[in-house]
Amino acid sequence: MTLNKTLSTIAPLGGDEQTTPAIEIKDLVKRFGELTAVDHLSLTINQCEIFGLLGPNGSGKTTTINMISGLSQPTSGEIQVMGYDLHHDLRRVRQLLGAVSQETALYDELSAWENMDFHAEIFGIPRSEKKERITRMLELVQLLDRKDSPVGTFSGGMKRRLALARALLHGPQLIYLDEPTLGVDIQSRRAIWDYILQLRDVCKTVLITTNYLEEAQALCDRIAIIDHGKLIAVDTPAQLKQRFGGSVVELELAHPDHSAEALRAIGGVKQVIENGSQIKVTTEAGQNVVPQIINTIARQSEIKAIAVREPNLDEVFLNLTGTALRD
């Protein structure tokens, strides 16, 4: 059964008009003593979009998520989820939120069904609906045949799928996924990606944090990059690459030479990496200096192969934060 058909039979326990932002953050601040973890952050996440929140360790993204989830109180600022003020309507907000953390927090000694049943009780799913809901969600993630198996016998991918089914059980409007495919195999990763993309098709809002920039590129409608508690950039992946990443020119020469210094002297060239007969040149965003790079090399060396490509998100992230995402 597809997610579209499954969720059409499971009405959410709450929700608002689609014109209301899924998340509205205004001038959010969080301090721990002298440390400012989140520094006057303002951000709007629309309903029915997959939104990525990225940043190096210590950037403030986890603290921000904890405040959105109601696990931590802001020092100042405002958070609204589906139009509800988090400070005054925390219980209502939690009904609208489904979450899959890095640690799936499943009970290994219980069966898949028992884990789902426990979650249903917490969220007050009516007994008349509970069996059907659990059945449909386990069927969705292809675990119905293992419903009576202890979760401790499941693979990492099976646990992530079960955690996703559990998060969707009460019909949330906003789903937060922290590293949704961490530690799973390629097949499970693709399956989870498909589930996430289908969530958008039925107008669920998905907030993702991930260290896999390939994952952010594949899934996210928009991405926000934060560092030192501040918003650095927010846009679509394509626009981020266009605004903050220049072209990348990769050349293979017939023989190693000493073209690097001449290339670095070209205005608009940001970085030159030389590895024997291979040279990689990264240009500044908006600078069309590729012909000049090729002409400079051609005057000194024979070019065996050349490739010009747009930057990837890793390179954009490095350009904006000065550090790799995994740092």
Answering whether pTM is above 0.85, one says no
Domain co-membership, 182 together with 55: yes
- pLDDT tens-digit map of 256-271: 877 888 898 998 888 8
Tell me the residue range of the domain where 169 lies.
3-241
Tell which of 197, 223, 241 closes a domain.
241
- Asked whether residue 293 is domain-assigned, the answer is yes
- Asked whether residue 314 is domain-assigned, the answer is no
pLDDT at 322: 75
pLDDT at 4: 60
Domain count, the chain: 2
- pLDDT tens-digit map of 291-322: 999 999 888 888 899 998 887 888 788 878 87
Mean pLDDT score, 244-253: 85
- pLDDT tens-digit map of 127-160: 999 999 999 999 988 899 999 999 999 998 899 8
Q: Does 100 score more than 80 pLDDT?
A: yes
Domain co-membership, 23 together with 61: yes
**Of the given ranges (44-48, 117-121, 164-168, 253-257), which has the lowest mean pLDDT?**
253-257
Q: Does 327 score more than 50 pLDDT?
A: no
The DSSP-derived string for 105-128 is ---TTSBHHHHHHHHHHHTT--HH
Work out the end-to-end distance of the chain between its first and last CA atoms, rounded to an integer number of angstroms. 40
15 band by pLDDT with thresholds 50, 70 and 90: very low
**Residue that is written with structure tokens 């501040």 in the block:** 230
Provide the token pair at 313: 């998100």
Domain co-membership, 191 together with 283: no
Spatial distance between the Cα atoms of 122 and 144, rounded to a whole number of angstroms: 21
Provide the token pair at 153: 């016998």
The DSSP-derived string for 50-105 is EEEEE--TTSSHHHHHHHHTTSS--SEEEEEETTEETTT-HHHHHHHEEEE-SS--
Mean pLDDT score, 224-235: 94
Q: Does 274 score more than 60 pLDDT?
A: yes
SS3 at position 193 = helix
Tell which of 200, 220, 241 closes a domain.
241
Q: Domain with 99 in it: what CATH number? A: 3.40.50.300
What phi and psi, each to the nearest 5 degrees, are found at residue 87? -70, -40
pLDDT at 113: 97
pLDDT at 181: 85
pLDDT at 14: 46
- Asked whether residue 323 is domain-assigned, the answer is no
- pLDDT tens-digit map of 176-191: 998 888 877 888 888 8
Say if CB 308 and CB 247 are below 8 A apart: yes
- Cβ atoms within 10 A of the Cβ of 73, count? 10
Task: State the chain's mean pLDDT as an integer.
Answer: 87
